[in-house]
Chain A
Amino acid sequence: MKISKFLVFSLAILLLVFPLPLRAEKPIKIITTTSDLASIAKEIGKEKVEVVSLSKGTQDPHFIEVRPSMVMKLKNADLLILVGMHLDVWIQALIDASRNHKIKYGQPGYLDVSAGIEKLDIPTSKIDASMGHVHIYGNPHYWIDPENAKVIAANIARRLYEISPEDTSYFKKNLNKFNERVDKKLIEWKKKLAPFKGQKIAVYHRSWPYFTNRFGFIVACELEPKPGIPPSPGHLKEVIERMRQENVRVILMEVFYDEEPARFVAQQTGAKVVVVPNSVGGAKEAMDYFSLVDTIVEKIARALEG
């Protein structure tokens, strides 16, 4: 008798306690490989998602050291968002180690947001290490073009509708708001850079074609002789000559590259070195996607004005 009473009691407790976490609305756990994707995912998911980025804006997204603690982040993730185009290949070892089947290639929890991007720099010649660090699917630094941010956002939104169909209208509303804000800001950014349209700039790494195309700059030369190959004295000499000939006034580079070669070239040519974050969190003021582009636009405009 005592036992059956105890059983009934414990069963009642179980029934009461167990559905509780089910009833409470759990946010969708999203892990992104880069901070930019995290920022955009947050704009679309707002309070219905929990977003963590595996890398920081101060790190080079090509080379992220994978660590066991990252496995824990992926283990419980509902959605993994990656840049794709072979930029974040380091994620593969982590996906396997996490044993989370939701986020494997081909599953709804695996989202490569490069789908639908108009890809630039797709190699048409030899693809091997003699050409430097070549990405066979084209240049993967596409997030820096605000028009592409809209593609990324649409990709994320569509996947969120799939994961949580009941919140479709909520995500759709956020997507529209995001797109509107991008459009509004884009006009502002273009206006700011309009006086410098058609100007030639130098870059450190080939990571800016999407940005320069959007805002009408021409990349005259790169400090790296080939993508991913450190600047050599011989190549820098050529760069200096070219910059003098073509009156290049700005060297654009990311925060995580060595500033020394750029400073040297700047000294020789009188150009200005513009060190900018190319990912959210790469500088203090680049807190989200909009302030990231704000920072880049602001710094370039200031350098070209002076």
Chain B
Amino acid sequence: MLNETFYSPGDLGQAWSLLSDLGDKAIIIAGGTDLMVRFNRHRRKRSEILVYVGKLGLNVIEETDGQMVIGACASLADITASTVVRQKLPLLARACGEMASPAVRNAATLGGNLVTNARTADGVAALMALGAVVVTASAAGETRMPVEQFVSTPRRQKLANGGIVKQFEIPCLTADEKWGWEKLKQRQGDSRSILSVSVRARMEGDICRSIRLVLGGMAANPFVSKTAVQLLEGRPLSPNLVDRVAEEILSETDAGTDARATAWYREKAAQVLVRRVLTQIA
């Protein structure tokens, strides 16, 4: 009989059966840095039941044969500080390190960043640029899908059967790969993105063999630019082409206006940062 309002399952099996039984009544909480804001703002008696996933051991950070596994509940602080992440996935270490503030990073997770699904989600943007795969685990087994697919899949589908986000699997940067990250923000620290530009590219001399250029904060979700792929893959990365990408990328964006910036400003700034990031990797 489930009559508690807070559960802290100790293994995945327990978690799945709890979540299946509780169905829509369950709210999964990890670091709580997004959820607690909601609870604080609307203090009411609640009928939902919290399921804390911090004791499931989903905080690994390890690399095996060029593949990095990062648990959904690994803290941003641990990810940023991890030597192996800094060496093998510097883009992720950098992006996580620029999110929020030290105290928030001690609690916040990439799993939370993914599930909250904000327009500007820096963690999601960096994971997308890196070509990360999201692993969800449920009683029915594990499913894997690229981050960009996860983001555009409806919640019921991707987290069915008591499923939770378990970990991210990310191919480490190889010697012939370059990366870039630019976060436009109002302050140096503790500042949400106005927009972000991240890139992972494999270069052969000056020829761009593959490129994942991701814009965050320029549409409903961070997205992988098709323009960059169409214009740059298989070609030398020339200033001309860089300009064209900067120009045409706006056809993919849907920038909004909020307290931090207007849509107009975001579009102008995005073009500058795209140019800057692509010039860096040339």
A associates with B? no
